[in-house]
Every structure is written in C-alpha cells, then in structure tokens.
Structure 1
C-alpha cells in the first residue's frame, strides 16, 4: 500500500517518514511505502515491512538489477522481494536498536543517487549498487571508527594518491587498498606498499606475510610517508576534500567517495577529525634480494601468518628514486 510522495532526504526526514507510515492502514502487500520526490530516475521508496514494521528503503529497478550483491551485516540486510508490481530491492533494518544508523545509511545513499542524477545520469542502478557495496564494506569492517593509527595510515595513502594524480588523471584506478588489495597501489605488475609514521619512527609495521612478497611482481616498493603533527596542518577530511577537487570528473569524485567509504572513512563531518599534520616527505625502498622481510617461502611450514616490524635504518641500502617508482606505476615522467 502506498501513500503520497515523501520529501525525505536527511536522516531526520527519513525517521519522520517511517513514523508517519506507522499510521497508515495496513494492506495486503509486503510493504507500506511512500515514493521519494528525488531521485526521479528510479522508483525509490521509504517503507515499512508489513510483517514486523521494519523500516526499509525500497527500489523498483526497471528490468534486471544487474546481479547486485545481497548482504546482511551490522543489522542491515539487502534482499530481493517479489511484488505484484515487479521485483524489488529492499534495504531493511533487522536490528531495531540501529535505527539512527539505518537512517544515516539510507540518507547517504539518497544523496549519492541525487548527485548522480544531477550530473546527468539516468541509469542510477550502478550508483545504487556501488554505494551499497561501499556501505557493506564499511559496516563489515568497522567496530567503532578508524583508530588514530588507521587515520594516519589513510592520510599516507591519500598523499601518495595525490602525488600519482599529479602525474596521471587516471591514478585513482591504481588505489587497491579500498578493495582489500594485497598492496596499496598496483598497476601492470608494479606494486607499492605505503607505511606512514606520525613523528619520529624507527620501525615500519608489516601486517601480513604476503605484504612484502615480491614473487610474481615486476617490482615492489615500500613508501615511508613521514607526518609531523602541527596545529595549522591538514586533517584527513581536509585532504580528502582537496583530492576530490583535483579529480577530473564527477564520476571520479563518486568513485573516490565510494573508495573512502570502503576504506573505512564515514561520510560527513567526523566527531573526531583526527590529528592535524604536515607532510614531511617520503622515502622509497625497493623490495629486492636482501631486503629485510618475511614471506611464506622464508618461514617454517605451519605458520599461517605473521606481523613484524622492520628497522628503518636497515633500509638505507634499498633506497629507490621516487620518480622511477611513480613512473613504474603509470605516472608520466
């Protein structure tokens, strides 16, 4: 059963819309729903599931939904449902205590779709799929937001991305970390692992046996990004905004926003913006014969994985030229 259009967009608007639907007389369909004013290019509704009153965001795609990946995580579920009017995609809240989170997620998805529509896209299903996949990754991996160490690590990755973008407008495709890539950046068999320190650092933390395994690669390098905490420096959020402004198209900005979400950075202003820093430069090291690292071929059978630390001073003899590393990754000379 449907009510009139819902001008819902922000989290509070959605909460009000779901509350209003509770007063609608139940019907014989799966959901009570109200179509949203925006976006216009896809039938998108706020709804309540009739069986238990669970809040939902419901999409009625035209034709096939493109094999969108279904999931259930952090109390949210993406599923398909058969309705007399056609097949539905349903994002539902399965844990009532997470209603505010659900409203934030739905509101963010709506904003992404409206931005895509305003940029001229008429087929919004790919954007819906991409944003939901990004939220799935974020909710799967988060247990309370990024730690300070993780924020610092992400700043280092973004500084490296910015340097690559200065050489090639297509560099965003090289950033593999948001997709759980083994290495932070990779292109044509050349890989780069970024390690970031805040303040003086004597050691680099290696989180897995495979992280510095160069087998099968044309080259593998480690970049040690050095940051200094500074009151008038930049934060992670400010750096992300700066990079977004350097991207070549609205599509790239949407891809970047999804990558940040998959990488663990929630959209919108953060309660804790993290440290304010200055970029103090980076050194590059080539992982080659003699490089002080562990890999599966070098440890006894039966060891499934390991974390360890490398003394920075032990890497002096493995220095590499930054320009050569960037060029190998696809950047122009």
Structure 2
C-alpha cells in the first residue's frame, strides 16, 4: 500500500492555507522513516503544491545539479526554525503541470521513501533523484516505453555489466564504462578499448545486427571486442525489471556508481513506472567474445567504396571461425584486471 495516496494528498493540499499574505511555508507532516521526514506543503506567495523531504545526514547537491523537467521542479529550500537539523528538498508543481498527475508522482515518491527504511540516507537520496528523473522523462516522452528489440538490447547490456562486476571490475569503473545509453560509439568503453554488445533470441545460427559502418571499426578504439549474447525465453529466466533490481542491489555499496547507473537507465528509456510492461523472461544460453581485427568480417568506412555513406547489415556469427575468448582474458587484454 502507498504511504500516502494521491487522493489523500489532494485533500491535504486543499486544506492547507493558500494565498497567504505573509510569504513562507504552510506544511503538515506526512510521515517519518528513520531520519527522513516528509511533509506536504504550500509556499506563499506563489501558492504552489509541494512535497518536502528532509534528510538529517545526507549531503545534498546544489539546486543547479538537481533534475529539472516538465510538470515539476526540485530544489533545495530553507524552512527556518521548522527545518530542525534536516536538509530539505522541495518538489514543486509547475503552474502548467497537471495537479492530478503531480499528486500521483508525489504518491509514488512517498512510497519509494517509505520502502527505504533499511537503506542509508545517501542511497535513498540517490534513488529519489533517480525516480524524479524517471517521472520527468515519462512526462517528456509519454507512455510508450521500450519496444521488444530495445528491451532485449538493454537486457544484454545489463547482463554483460553484471558479468564485468562478477569478474572483478570495480563497481564505479564498470558503470562508468557503460556508454550504450549515452549514444556512445560502443556499448562499453573500458580500459584501453571497447566492447560492443549484441543480443539475439534466434535459435538457428547466431545473427546480430550491426547498426553502422563505424560500429565494428576497431581503428577508432582498439582493441575492440564483440560480445554476442544468445537468450532463450524460459520461466526460470529474469525479466528486465529483475535485471535492473539485481544490479541495484549489487551497486548499493557505492552511491556514486548507483547515481551513474540510474542516470544511464533513464537515458536508455527505462522507467520504473513502466516496469509492468516488461513481462518477458530472458535466460542467457550462450555468450561469445570475439576480437574484432583485420581477419574479422565486417564493413567499415575504409573497406568499402567511398560512395557508400551509410549501411546496416546482419552478421551470422555461427559462420565465423573467430576465436571465442573468455571474458577474463578480454578484460586482461583491455587492461582492466
């Protein structure tokens, strides 16, 4: 059950004094979890609906670094004597934002805060900012979410990220190297080179789709490896939201890595509020790691006619005799471990 429902929030905001002559905050306590306090509020003279979140120990970022977007804004505020020893964040509805949707956002954020009692303040703070970014992206892009191909691609990248960490790559280094959601040329830029990730659910052959002439051009970021993952559909597999939660738990000891991970998820188009859309379960059945070198078949800008400016093509790895390298050897060649 939600800590506070959207209907309850609408009633609380209606009950708070509005259009007060004296500037300042009118607030009411909603709940407290451990050292984190949450209030519903209005602020005069603008009379905006607000939720206030107070952290006793967490160091908050400057307002200029906080996520901003459509529908609502987030900022650091001072509450005077009412602040106590807490540092307060205000999540404020913008005049053009729907009040009903804002109430739903705040209800969701309160549920997140209410469920974080066993986490550190820093982790709850990072998850709160991540959820705020998610809602702002939701309002900007709408409700469509990831299509099936993008869902599979993200599962593949998350699966490889998990395997990098399992092989001993530091949490922050692994997440920092994940460039796929940031429109990087390769999905991972790590150590001295890069790894391009391709995923398939094909049962015959090992087809992977190459999106551009530059994608397998090893001259731009040598050494370059192609990580090809084959997934099956099985009840014993994991859904995309389960892959996400698994990595969140793994990254929990490093707040900086958690922050980068949440930002990358949102750049990839994954939003928690759309998690129920991703019910497919993926079971990893095969992974191949190929070095992309002069012997590896591919199209690059220097291997084809200059008249060909763009190209996408499909490569069947089942027909390629290239060596399959263990991930530990790949990371050693990249200088990571």
Q: CA–CA distance in 2 between the matches of 1:67 and 1:199?
A: 47
The answer as to 2:324 corresponding to 1:293 is no
Aligned to 2:155, the other structure's residue is in SS state: helix
Asked whether 1:283 is paired with 2:313, we answer no
Aligned partner of 1:233 among 219, 231, 237: 237
CA RMSD of aligned residues (A): 4.4
The correspondence of residues 1-333 of structure 1 with structure 2, limited to 5 A, is 10=2, 12-26=4-18, 27=20, 28-29=22-23, 32-39=26-33, 41=35, 44-48=38-42, 54-59=48-53, 65-66=61-62, 68-70=64-66, 72-78=68-74, 89-94=89-94, 95-97=96-98, 99-100=100-101, 102-110=102-110, 118-121=118-121, 128-129=128-129, 131-133=131-133, 136=136, 140=140, 143-168=143-168, 170-171=170-171, 173-175=173-175, 176-177=178-179, 180=182, 182=184, 183-200=186-203, 203-207=207-211, 210-244=214-248, 246=250, 249=253, 251=255, 254-255=258-259, 259-267=264-272, 270-289=275-294, 291-295=297-301, 306=310, 308-313=312-317, 316-323=320-327, 324-328=329-333
Instruction: Provide structure 2 residue ranges, at least 5 long, that are not aligned to the other structure.
Output: none
In 2, Cα distance between equivalents of 1:83 and 1:89: 10
1:10-61 deviation digits (Å, cap 9, x = unpaired): 3753541232221222223365433443356466532345567653334578
Q: 1:146-198 CA distances to partner (integer Å, 9 max, x unpaired)?
A: 11111111221122122222211624632324761513223223211211112
Decide whether aligned partners of structure 1 residues 120 and 245 sit closer, same or farther in structure 2, where only a CA change above 3 A counts.
closer
- Normalising by structure 1, what TM-score? 0.72
Question: What SS is found at the alignment partner of 2:5?
Answer: helix
Q: In 2, Cα distance between the equivalents of 1:296 and 1:138?
A: 41
Equivalent pair of 1:18/1:46 in contact (CA under 8 Å): no
Q: For residues 32 and 213 of structure 2, what CA distance do their matches in structure 1 show?
A: 48
Q: Distance in 1 between matches of 2:301 and 2:110?
A: 44
Contact 1:196 1:226 (C-alpha < 8 Å) held by counterparts: yes
Q: Which runs of 5+ in 1 are unaligned?
A: 1-8
Separation in structure 2 between the aligned mates of residue 16 and residue 174 of structure 1, nearest angstrom: 42
Number of residue equivalences? 321
Q: Distance in 1 between matches of 2:312 and 2:269?
A: 23
Runs (4+) of structure 1 exceeding 6 A deviation are 60-64, 80-88, 296-299
Q: What CA distance in whole angstroms lies between the structure 1 residues aligned with 2:124 and 2:244?
A: 24
Change (3 A) 1:330 1:312: same
Q: Distance in 2 between matches of 1:104 and 1:91?
A: 13
TM (norm. structure 2) is 0.71
Pair 122,148 (structure 1): closer, same or farther in 2 beyond 3 Å:
closer
User: What do the CA deviations read for 1:116-142 (whole angstroms, capped 9, x no partner)?
Assistant: 664344797666555544655565556
SS of residue paired to 1:271: helix
Secondary structure, counterpart of 1:199 in structure 2: coil
Question: Residue 168 of structure 1 contacts residue 331 of structure 1 at CA under 8 Å; is this kept in 2?
Answer: no
Q: Is the 8 A contact 2:63 2:76 kept in 1?
A: no
Which 10-residue stretch deviates more, 151-160 or 11-20?
A: 11-20
Q: Conserved in 2, the CA contact under 8 Å of 1:79 and 1:90? A: yes
